[in-house]
Structure 1
Amino acid sequence: MTEEASKPIRRRPGGRAARVRQAVLAATMEVLAEKGVARLGIAEVAARAGVNETTVYRRWGNREKLVLDAMLTWSNESIPVPDTGAVRTDFAAFARALAEYLATPTGRAVARAASLGPDDPELAGAWQTFWQSRLDQVGVIVGRAVERGELPADTDTALALELLCSPLQTRSLLGHRPIEPDLPERLADTLLDGLRTGADDRPPGSQGGGPV
């Protein structure tokens, strides 16, 4: 055996398995955007990705896990959680990324599918897991703000993020008003004014947090 032949085979990082995963998740998002979650089938996803159905089942097990993985991966890449050092700019940056996502056909379609919700209990569970996972990820914005003394310790994280995101989702889905370029900053300011005013209006000793 030659010295060259005895060398271990070095596989390039992100080889075939990574390419297959990327292709399947991209195909899942395509079908989701075109047909909605209720009509998404693994056979069609596999065909679009250029892989066998067995490959999809072997890796993800079922449709619910596939949808969940695709949604979380797509959201993490398209709407990353910012860390600018200040809660206002974190809120504004996240809102801007969401607005840009909702301006894409896939973003609008996914938001529409999420607003309707699937009738299938198992798919509904996947959606719930997705929303909770994203809340846990994005909630660090509020957690960091509390540690810095920018927000009170009892700030309702879920409510704060709903108030930040809902106007963008409403405008995107209903289309009755455009998303102006400065809207993310205005939403961040309005949200912070409300959170801080609410903290100031509470009885003394009820906040439990540092100075705002």
Structure 2
Amino acid sequence: MNERQRARRPGGRSARVGAQVHQAVTDLISERGYGTFTVGEVAARAGVADSSIYRRWGSLENLLSEVTLTRLNAQSPMPDTGSLAGDLHAYAANVAREITGPDGLALVRLAVALTGAGTDQQGQQGQQARDGLRDERTRQMQSMLDRAVERGERVPAALDVLDHILAPMYIRVLFGMELTPEYVDGLVDRLL
């Protein structure tokens, strides 16, 4: 392998640039909302060149999808408590903490914005980003449900978890309503 083919070092400059770009996106969404900034503004805020963003992510929509998925995965990993009820309660509590935290509303708005992508080229990229985000979340939830099946538990469908646990929490946050631990636990209990 020659010098030009060297692999990226985890934790090196590439990781630092990625973190700066991710934070710039989150900050811009918090300040202005989705659809009100450009790659150039993200680059300026992150202290990198526009070309670095295009080279690494290809489009603003791909970047936005990665930011959302990375934040969601980091903040609400799939728990493994030994029971489906325990896993769902822990997962729902993690999601509630994540979406009510400092960057939570920005991430919720971003996820929602990706679902409303148009039909032009930019919209198609947004739809692909949205589909990738949805597919990854569904895969993660399915892995939690599959573990429960292996333990012999009766499980709901992954989309039922989305409809009965995640969707009500996201709607409440979007409308500025409180998410109490009792409310979140009740969502899980009703599904089960």
TM-score band, normalised by shorter chain: 0.7 to 0.9
Structure with greater Cα Rg: 1
**Whole-Å separation in 2 of the counterparts to 1:14 and 1:22:** 10
Q: Could you tell me which residue of structure 2 aligns to residue 138 of structure 1?
A: 141
TM-score by length of 2: 0.83
User: Kindly, what percent of the aligned residue pairs are identical?
Assistant: 37
Q: What code does the residue aligned with 1:157 have?
A: A
The CA distance in 2 between the partners of 1:143 and 1:88, in whole Å, is 13
Query: Structure 1 runs of 4+ off > 6 angstroms?
Result: none
**Superposition CA RMSD, Å:** 2.1
Taking the aligned partners of 2:18 and 2:153, their CA distance within structure 1 comes to: 40
Using a 3 Å threshold, how does the CA distance of structure 1 residues 128 and 140 change in structure 2: closer, same or farther? same
Alignment of 1:127-206 (within 5 A): 127-152=130-155, 155-176=156-177, 178-192=178-192
Aligned pair in 2 of structure 1 residues 156, 80: CA closer, same or farther (>3 Å)? Answer: same
Structure-2 separation of matches of 1:63 and 1:12: 24
Distance, in Å, in 2 between the alignment partners of 1:137 and 1:22 is: 23
Alpha-carbon separation, structure 2, partners of 1:98 and 1:19 = 26
Mark the runs of 5 or more structure 2 residues left unpaired by the alignment: 1-7
The worse-fitting range, judged by mean Cα deviation, of 71-80 and 35-44 is 35-44
In structure 1, C-alpha distance between the alignment counterparts of 2:10 and 2:62, rounded to whole Å: 25
Question: Residue 33 of structure 1 contacts residue 109 of structure 1 at CA under 8 Å; is this kept in 2?
Answer: yes
CA distance in 2, matches of 1:104, 1:156: 28
> Bigger shift: 30-39 or 163-172?
30-39
TM (norm. structure 1) is 0.75
| Structure 1 residues not aligned, in runs of 5+ | 1-10, 193-212
Aligned to 1:37: 34
Contact 1:92 1:187 (8 Å CA) reproduced:
no
- C-alpha separation in 2, matches of 1:69 and 1:112: 14
* Correspondence for 1:99 among 82, 96, 100: 96
Q: 1:141 to 1:161 in 2, by over 3 A?
A: farther
Q: Using the alignment, how far apart are the partners of 1:74 and 1:21 within structure 2?
A: 12
The reply on whether 1:118 has 2:117 as its aligned counterpart is yes
How far 1:12 moved relative to its partner? 7.9
How far apart, in 1, do the equivalents of 2:34 and 2:55 lie? 21
The Cα offsets for residues 99-154 of structure 1, whole Å up to 9 and x where unpaired, read as 111212421133234335233332133122211211111221211111111115xx
CA contact (8 A) 2:34 2:109 kept: no
